[in-house]
Amino acid sequence: MSVAMHIENEAPVELQRLRDSIDNLDAVLVHTLAERFKCTQQVGALKARARLPAADPVREAAQIRRLRVLAETAKLDPEFAETFLAFIVKEVIRNHEAVVEQATRPAAEATGV
C-alpha cells in the first residue's frame, strides 16, 4: 500500500475524530454561555432593584482588555475575541433593559388586567 493510499484511507477516521472533538467543544460553549447568561440575568435583576444602568462602560472596557490578553495568550485573534465579547455584552445589556422594563411596568399591564 502506498503512503498516499494509507493517508487516504486514514483521512475519514481522523476527520471524524476531529469533528467529534469540535462537536464536544460546541457543547461546552453552549453550556458555558448558558451558565454565563444565568449569572448575568441575576446581575440584571440586581441592577434593576438597585436602579443601576444596564450598561457599565468601565466594566465593559476592563473586560475587553482582559479578554484580549487571554486571547493573545491562547493564540486566538484578539479582534475576534473582542467581537465575540461585544456580541455577548450586547445581548446581556438587552436582557438587563428588558428586566428593568418589566420591573417598571405597571402591575395592571403586567398582569394583563
* Domain ranges for the chain: 3-111
Phi-psi region of 3 (alpha: psi -120 to 50; beta: other; left: phi over 0): alpha
Instruction: Enter the pTM of the model.
Output: 0.74
**Residue 104: pLDDT band by 50, 70, 90 thresholds?**
confident
Per-residue pLDDT at 102: 84
- The topology under which CATH files domain 3-111 is Chorismate Mutase Domain, subunit A (1.20.59)
Q: Which residue has the higher pLDDT, 44 or 106?
A: 44
3 state SS of 77: coil
DSSP state of 54: S
Per-residue pLDDT at 107: 55
The per-residue DSSP string of 85-113 comes to HHHHHHHHHHHHHHHHHHHHS-HHHHHT-
Residue 25: pLDDT above 70? yes
